[in-house]
Amino acid sequence: MNKENNNYRDDRFAIANKEALIGIGLVLFNFIWWISFAYGLGGNDVSTYTYILGLPAWFFYSCVLSVIMMPLLVWIAVKLFFVDVALDDEEFEEE
């Protein structure tokens, strides 16, 4: 199709849009995870804290575990949902 045509639709934009939404979803999940543990478990009296590896549980779950978990989730998302897309317009230059 011709780029000047109003009906022109490049599938690369749909793919990029889907991948951006996945990225935003991962960021929102990370933020909700962090805030839930940091303020959910960390808002109590210090004398009631439980400890994991010498760290308060809220800190361990919100900071340490998320640093391990989020790269793993990003790797899974990239392997399952992201695709290689050619960024050049060679196919349109031929027309």
Which of 26, 23, 62 minimizes the C-alpha distance to 42? Answer: 62
Q: What are the beta bridge partners of residue 51?
A: 56
Length in residues, the chain = 95
In this predicted model, what pLDDT tens digit does every residue of 11-68 receive, in sequence order?
A: 888 899 999 999 999 999 999 999 998 888 777 788 888 999 999 989 999 999 999 9
Q: Where are the domains of the chain?
A: 51-86
pLDDT for the residue 90: 65
- Quote the pLDDT of residue 3: 55
Structure tokens at 79: 């392997």
Whether 75 shows a pLDDT value over 90: the answer reads yes
pLDDT tens digits for range 41-52: 777 788 888 999
pLDDT band of residue 8 (cuts 50, 70, 90) is: low
